[in-house]
Amino acid sequence: MKLINREEYLNKLISVIGTPDIKVLTGIRRSGKSKLLEAFKKYITQNIKNVNIIHINFNIPIYENLMEYHELYNYIEKRYDANKRNFILIDEVQMCVGFEKAINGLHALEKYDIYITGSNAFLMSSDLATLFTGRTFGIDVYPFSFKEYLEYYQYDDIDKAFDNYVKEGGMSGSYLYKTQKEKYDYISDVYNTLIVRDINQKYKIRNLDVLNNLNNFLIDNISNLTSSNNIANVLNSNNVSITDKTISNYIKYLCSAFAFYKVTRYDIRGKKLLSTQDKYYLSDHSFRYALLGTTNMDYGRIYENIVAIELLRRGYEIYVGTLYNKEIDFVASKRNEKIYIQVSDNISDDITLQREVKPLLEIKDAYPKIIIAKTKHELYQYEGIQIYDIARWLVE
C-alpha cells in the first residue's frame, strides 16, 4: 500500500520523546495508527543513538502468547537493556487481557518510554485516567483528511479531488480497491466489524438488531439535533422496543468506539452549555454511503460532517451554537481563539446566502465569523464575514 507522511501526528509523538507520560494513540479501526507507530519506530532508529526498541503488534499471530498481562510484562522485562534507551511500542494493546496492569507496572519502573495504540471501547480517552495510574498523553488519530487525500492521489484539480473525496472518504484502506462498490464493501466491513466485535465484546449487547437500528438512525441523521428520548420514540413507532436509557447507553458505546463524535449545544448569549439535544457526526463520512447507499447524497450534511471532523482534527473543541432560537453550525474554540462557522453546500442564490449570514450578523462579539461552502472561489468577504470554499479551507 502507498504510504504518505502523516507529519502532524508524527511530530506530536516526537515532541514527547523522553517525557514520563504513557503516550496513547486512539482512533477508529484502520485509521492508520499501526503505520504511524511504524513511522515513529523508523524515526527513533534513524535519529536516536543507542536505543533498544521493544515493538509488539497484537495484530500479528506471533504475539498471541502475550495476550495475558503477566506474559506481556515478563516478555518486555526480559528484553530490557540497561545500557540503552528503552522504548516500548505496543499496537492494539487492548487485545491483551489486563493490559493496564502490565502498562502500569512497566511505567512504575521509570525506565521505559512507552507508546501504545488502541482503537475501540477499551481505550476511550475518557477512561485513560482510570486505566493508567501514570499521566497519559493522548493523540486522537483520524481517517485521512482531504489534505492527506490530495497528497495520496497527487491531484492537480482540487475541485475534482474534493468531489471524489466526498464519495470516497478518508478510510485509506479502501483506496486499494478499484470500483466504488468494492471500496464501500471494504468500508462497510470495517464499520460492521467495529460494532459487532468491539462493542459487543465489551458490553455484551443483548439485541444487536436494536443497536443496528440506532446506528442507522444516527447515520441517517448526522448534523440533526436529537436526543435519546426522541430516538426511542422514533424507534418504538417503528416497532423497535427500546427505552431512552438504553438508547443513551448504546450511543455512549458507539462514541467510545470512535464511530461517532458527540457535539453539545452552546448558548452564545448566555455563555453556557445546554443539556438537551445534541448532534452526532461520523468519524468518516464515507460510512454513510457505504452503509445506507448513495440514493440520497445530501451534500449539505456531508459537508457539515467533514468540517466537524476537520475542526476536531485541528484541535478545536466544537459546539452547536444557539442564539435567539437560531442555530450556528459550529462554535469552535481553542485556548483564547473562537470562531463562529456556518456550513452550506451552495450559497449561489441570495436567499440561501442571507439565511446563512443572518445568524452570524446577530452575534455581537468580535470573534471571526465564517461561512464554508462549495463556492469554487478564493476567500472573499461579505459584510465582514469570511466566505471560504470548502475544498480550499480544508487544505489551508
- What average pLDDT is seen over the chain? 92
Given this model, what pLDDT does residue 74 score?
Answer: 98
Q: Are residues 115 and 156 in the same domain?
A: no
Kindly indicate the confidence band of residue 120, based on its pLDDT and cuts at 50, 70 and 90: low
Domain of residue 120, residue span: 7-140
Residues 116 and 184 in one domain: no
pLDDT at 274: 86
pLDDT at 47 over 60: yes
Asked if the structure places residue 63 within a domain, the reply is: yes
Q: Provide the residue type at 140 as one letter.
A: D
129 within a domain of the structure (yes/no)? yes
User: Quick one: pLDDT at residue 129?
Assistant: 65
pLDDT-above-90 percentage for the chain: 73
Nearest Cα residue to 98 out of 128, 67, 126, 125: 67
Q: Tell whether the model's pLDDT for residue 396 goes beyond 70.
A: yes
Rounded CA-CA distance 335/322 in Å is: 21
Taking the alpha carbons of 63, 65, 67, 72 in that order, is the dihedral positive or negative? Answer: negative
**Is 163 among the domain residues?**
yes
User: Whole-model pTM?
Assistant: 0.92
Q: Tell me, what's the pLDDT at 287?
A: 96
248 & 308 share domain: yes
Beta strands in 81-203 (DSSP E): 85-91, 113-118, 136-140
> Which of 9, 18, 4, 96 is closest to 56 using CA atoms?
96
Q: For the chain, how many structural domains are there in total? A: 2
DSSP E strands in the chain: the ranges are 22-26, 51-57, 85-91, 113-118, 136-140, 260-267, 272-282, 317-323, 326-334, 337-344, 369-373, 380-382, 385-389
Would 356 be classed as within a structural domain? yes
Distance CA 352, CA 222 (A): 21
| Other C-beta atoms lying within 10 Å of the C-beta of residue 92 | 24
Domain membership flag for residue 171: yes
CA angle 234, 235, 241 (to 5 degrees): 135
**CA-angle at 218, arms to 215 and 223, nearest 5°:** 155
Question: Rounded to an integer, what distance in angstroms lies between the CA atom of residue 114 and that of residue 20?
Answer: 8
pLDDT tens digits for range 270-283:
888 988 899 999 99
pLDDT at 119: 65
pLDDT digits (tens, 9 = 90+) for 234-263: 888 988 888 999 999 999 889 888 899 999
Grid coordinates belonging to 234: 422514533
